[in-house]
Structure 1
């Protein structure tokens, strides 16, 4: 599994490959962290020889990937791709099992909490086990295949049947029993990563 630190480094290396202009503030925005943490990440990466640094003036430094930086970006990209493949395979296997269990328990209709990439994987299990997709709830996606997507508030305000949680924390994709902010825990929820 690729670590958070490695994802941070990969983001920085990808940015430097596209443009030499990089500051602590830009790095912090890219990483979604404090300027102080971004500075530490850049400092450690520079000490490992991943960049050639050109000081333009006191407030501007340009960064260029060194051969070691290019090799590290390649290694991290391969690690990310391997993890993505692992995530897909696990999600496909686990979602198929959840759908099978529901079908064998006599459940015919399900709703999705989430309309992103995990929902697309789970939808394969829904079709495979003859379930009907009744409703989808998500604030970040407008549509899902030919289905209308409802707001998350609608999930909390209406009675519903079985809900498959098709959302995950991008920082910890396989975290168990993840729920987005504002969604109340309900006994009708079934997680893919449980």
Structure 2
């Protein structure tokens, strides 16, 4: 799904919710410029997806038409297909990285203890892939408080050269695709040696 279709989907979803929206609130909700929202709304009306009802001289209300509902459903299917495709690609990429990491361990190693840096969606995909390897997740370092598949999420400040708090580990796996230079700088500041860090 292209970016303009994502914006269109967001706006149609907002209109379908039935709340009274101005083009300004629709633009703000979609995170796009008011001019682009105006252009999209005119296109929606021209295609028959949205009906405009004037409730006061300077106030209108937007309603989704049956063809607008059908178009929104089509866009939702595309969005879901893209999400599934992203998950499949991410799982393949992460699975290959974890398999390569496991294979690179010194021969005869009895334990392959790892820690995840991060507890978001990529970490969840990594956890699923981890089940197909002989790597053992012993800890998770992250910014949020809570649990990650039964393990407590430790503050990043608890991370050191050889352990997460009192838990020793062999490798730290960065389970994020975002802002790797900033993460690398933070790990260096915490004293984690570069050779103990694996990137997905």
What TM-score, normalized to structure 1? 0.76
| Alpha-carbon distance in structure 1 between the residues aligned to 2:128 and 2:2 | 29
Judged with a 3 Å threshold, the aligned counterparts in structure 2 of structure 1 residues 136 and 179 are, in CA distance, closer, same or farther, namely: farther
Note if 1:139 corresponds to 2:143. yes
Q: Which moved more, 1:111-120 or 1:95-104?
A: 111-120
Judged with a 3 Å threshold, the aligned counterparts in structure 2 of structure 1 residues 113 and 4 are, in CA distance, closer, same or farther, namely: farther
Tell me the matched-pair count. Answer: 179
Q: Which moved more, 1:30-39 or 1:66-75?
A: 30-39
Cα offsets for 1:55-114 (capped at 9, x unmatched): 112443211112321121111111111112212222222221111101001172333233
Unaligned runs of 5+ in 1: 168-176
Q: Secondary structure of 1:26's partner?
A: helix
Among candidates 175, 186, 190, match of residue 199 of structure 2: 190
Judged with a 3 Å threshold, the aligned counterparts in structure 2 of structure 1 residues 102 and 180 are, in CA distance, closer, same or farther, namely: closer
| Alpha-carbon distance in structure 2 between the residues aligned to 1:150 and 1:58 | 57
Among candidates 127, 132, 145, match of residue 131 of structure 2: 127
Correspondences of 1:1-194 after superposition (within 5 Å): 2-106=1-105, 108-139=112-143, 142-151=146-155, 154=157, 158-159=160-161, 162-167=171-176, 177-179=177-179, 182-184=182-184, 187=194, 188-191=197-200
Unaligned runs of 5+ in 2: 107-111, 163-169, 188-193
Q: Greater CA radius of gyration, 1 or 2?
A: 2
| Alpha-carbon distance in structure 2 between the residues aligned to 1:41 and 1:115 | 37
Q: Secondary structure of 1:128's partner?
A: coil
Judged with a 3 Å threshold, the aligned counterparts in structure 2 of structure 1 residues 130 and 79 are, in CA distance, closer, same or farther, namely: same
Residue 136 of structure 1 deviates from its aligned partner by: 2.3
Q: Secondary structure of 1:81's partner?
A: helix
What TM-score, normalized to structure 2? 0.74
| Alpha-carbon distance in structure 2 between the residues aligned to 1:64 and 1:40 | 17
RMSD: 2.8
| Alpha-carbon distance in structure 2 between the residues aligned to 1:165 and 1:41 | 40
